[in-house]
A and B are shown apart, each in its own frame.
Chain A
Amino acid sequence: EPEVTQTPSHQVTQMGQEVILRCVPISNHLYFYWYRQILGQKVEFLVSFYNNEISEKSEIFDDQFSVERPDGSNFTLKIRSTKLEDSAMYFCATERALGYEQYFGPGTRLTVT
């Protein structure tokens, strides 16, 4: 069964450093999402991406964040200058078409020290 994959599974970085989280969507899916879950808190929507552009973003997704699909397969989330409060589990999700089920990857645990 096709699945969403994410790399790395765990990333430790120092405050102020840039990180790139990677996701490989299910192959025939067209809509892509990033969510985060701070330990012990709810899963929060960050951004949605369709047709090579952002379709919606939350108030969390400020200028420090960016997304792209550089090579037609990977979908990446970049945090330019990490802060301690960026420590969280980051999930990628993909969807075949709008309004269908979203399928989540296993997540990347980001730890900012």
Chain B
Amino acid sequence: KQEVTQIPAALSVPEGENLVLNCSFTDSAIYNLQWFRQDPGKGLTSLLLIQSSQREQTSGRLNASLDKSSGRSTLYIAASQPGDSATYLCAVRRGNNDMRFGAGTRLTVKP
């Protein structure tokens, strides 16, 4: 059974700092991995999707990497801003449909 773990559970950084969020998964036979952002009481906003054949994806200040063999993905946020404060979720897709989520990292960026 696929288990997805995110470390740390919470992170507080000053504005402008670069940071890395970690996601690990137990079964390397994945279809793809997607990073989401969730604001309190809201839905999930897709940030980046990495297919199993890819090593990384970039969007603006965000860069996500995938190492399937070690069961790890990282989300790098450059020059963090207070507006980046949210919970970041990674979700691993096994097979065609089922997506398993981590518990998330709650990020606070202090002005």
Contacting pair B43 A104 (CB below 8 A): yes
State the main secondary structure of chain B at its contact with A: strand
Choose one: A43, A56, A91, A102; the contact of B46 (CB below 8 Å).
Answer: A102
Q: Chain B residue with minimal CB distance to A3? A: B43
Please list 17 pairs of residues, one from A and one from B, whose beta carbons are closer than 8 Å in the complex, sorted by A's number. A33-B97, A42-B101, A43-B44, A45-B97, A45-B99, A48-B97, A56-B95, A56-B98, A58-B98, A93-B44, A99-B31, A99-B51, A100-B49, A101-B34, A102-B34, A104-B36, A104-B44
Closest 6 interchain pairs by CB? Answer: A56-B97, A48-B97, A104-B44, A43-B101, A106-B43, A104-B43
Place the interface of chain A in its size category: 20 to 34
Minimum Cβ distance to chain B for residue A32 (Å): 11
Complex contacts, A107 vs chain B, CB 8 Å: 42-43
Indicate if A65 sits at the interface (CB-CB under 8 A): no
Q: With A93-B44, A102-B99 given, name 5 new contacts (CB 8 A).
A: A33-B99, A35-B99, A43-B91, A99-B32, A99-B96
Place the interface of chain B in its size category: 20 to 34
Indicate if B18 sits at the interface (CB-CB under 8 A): no
Contacting pair B97 A103 (CB below 8 A): no
Contacting pair A45 B100 (CB below 8 A): yes
Indicate if A18 sits at the interface (CB-CB under 8 A): no
Alpha-carbon separation in the docked complex, A100 to B17 (Å): 31
